[in-house]
Amino acid sequence: MISSNLPALQVVLPLLGAVLAALVRRGPIAWLIALVVSWTMPAIAFALLRQVLTEPDGVVSYALGGWTPPLGIEYRVDLVSAYILILVSVMGALVISYAPRSVASEIAPERQAWFYTMYLLCMAGLLGIAITGDAFNAFVFLEVSSLSTYVLIALGHDSRAVLSAYQYLIVGTIGATFYVLGVGLLYVMTGSLNLADIAGRIGDIENIRPLLAALAFITVGISLKVALFPVHLWLPNAYAFAPSVVTAFLASTATKVALYLLLLSVAAMIVASVVAVFQANIKRMLAYSSVAQIGYITLGIALITQTGLTGGIVHIFNHAVMKATLFMAVGCIVFRTGVVRIEDLAGIGRRMPLTMGAFVIAGLGLIGVPGTVGFVSKYFLVAGALEKGWWWLAAIIVISSLIAVVYVGRVIEVAWFREPTAAIKDAGKPPLEMLAFTCILAAAIVVLGFDTELTAGIAARAAEVLLAGMT
């Protein structure tokens, strides 16, 4: 009974949890609800992956409300979406376990229950996008996750957080509306909203101009959402002023989920990396680095070869782990010192060696040092570029990695090789659970850097599925 309804539970549980958390109105209880729900999610996601692997055609299809697809809304889990579900749910569970103290220090007590409500809603939306097989349903989930994200960002204690949330709302809504516009044109042309059904009917269309317009609208809309260069301007501000926990969660999941729907970014990698070098605020620096890293992911997708696509997909996961670690380490530092300017972090490495150690490991991962997950994805990307004989592209990937050395190195230099200032000397140790989850993720960066079976293995099979669907 339960196992046949897992696809629906994956989305319904966080939705119910959000309502419960809103009803109790008490921060700690709301956190407990969020914690239980968030740890149930990866369990369901892994169970779904097992079902997918045992199905003969590799697809778990679920007719929502008993209405058979393509008329009814279909939840469809294949290898690719199972991969995204695991990514989102595992990151969501880790971040929420780390959250309570950071939340308590950055958000007023009467608002904490709302924070957990929005967190669960956001997760429901993200999981929904990944699991649904219906184009319009995907729009609804996109807006569920977006609206809750605007609120999460506005919860930041800085007054500029509200401003960033407003700007994100404008851009996000334009993006989502472009997406609906594209879906509307597709519906007019094919008479279907089921993604698999659309794919089947699209070949019969003789007049392809509306089709191209539809795809253009969908691509531009989603690019706005994932902050793809050159429409990335909302992202660094939103990340810099949002509460630390929100940043860790969004950086690791939200922008990736929208990429799943998108499936130019040479410029993004270089420009955003260079801009990252010149940032004074450490959260903004990491945010610009995210713009660059998303460039790697789209680059892998743009290669359209088995190796390149594997690199892109595996980097979705690897970047999520690395960025979550970086932002969680920054969260620990902000929690104890309230400092976000890189210059003010002098000597923090001596005061918080474990936190900064995790930061260094994740930073090395961003650069792509062998032995970290970053190396695995860069390896596939460079190999994919070389397979096509694009030497210049491989060179650009390497150059962009070298720029990462500069901005990560700047933080390391300040944190470890300078005398601690008085403010840093007085800072206490970060709380155990925040430190523990940061270190667990840092360890994962190294472990998954050596054992690539789970990440690259699934990514390679997912790439096969995607390529088979294209031809």
For other proteins, the binding residues (CB under 8 A) are 136, 139-140, 143, 147, 150-151, 154, 159-160, 162-163, 165-166, 169-170, 173-174, 177, 180-181, 184, 187-188, 193
Q: Which lies closer to other proteins via its Cβ, residue 40 or residue 167? A: 167
> What's the rounded Cα separation, in Å, for the pair 470 and 366?
31
Q: Please, what is the minimum distance in Å from the beta carbon of residue 146 to other proteins?
A: 8
Residue 309 beta carbon to other proteins: minimum distance, rounded to whole angstroms: 32
Minimal distance, residue 248 CB to other proteins, in Å: 23
DSSP 115-137: HHHHHHHHHHHHHHHHHB-BHHH
Q: What single letter denotes the amino acid at residue 296?
A: Y
Nearest to other proteins of 338, 428 (CB atom): 338
Shortest distance, CB of residue 21 to other proteins, whole angstroms? 18
Question: Is the CA virtual torsion 179, 184, 187, 189 positive or negative?
Answer: negative
Report the residue number, 198 or 373, with the smaller CB distance to other proteins. 198
| Rg over CA atoms, the chain | 21
Contact between residue 81 and residue 260 where contact means Cβ atoms under 8 Å apart: yes
Q: Which is nearer to other proteins, 54 or 159 (CB)?
A: 159
**Contact (CB, 8 A) for 85 and 129:** no
50 vs 111 by CB, closer to other proteins: 111
Q: How far is the CB of 212 from other proteins (least distance, A)?
A: 17
Rounded Cα distance between 309 and 301, Å, is 5
* Sign for the pseudo-dihedral over CA of 322, 328, 334, 337: negative
| Residue closest to 194 by CA, chosen among 256, 240, 251, 132 | 132
Beta bridge partners of 77: 60
- Shortest Cβ distance from residue 123 to other proteins (Å)? 18
DSSP letter at 2 equals T
C-alpha–C-alpha distance, residues 428 and 20, integer Å: 35
90 vs 142 by CB, closer to other proteins: 142
Write down the least CB distance from residue 143 to other proteins, Å.
5
Give whichever of 168 and 359 is closer to other proteins, judged by the CB atom.
168
Q: What is the Cα–Cα distance from 100 to 241, expressed in whole angstroms?
A: 18
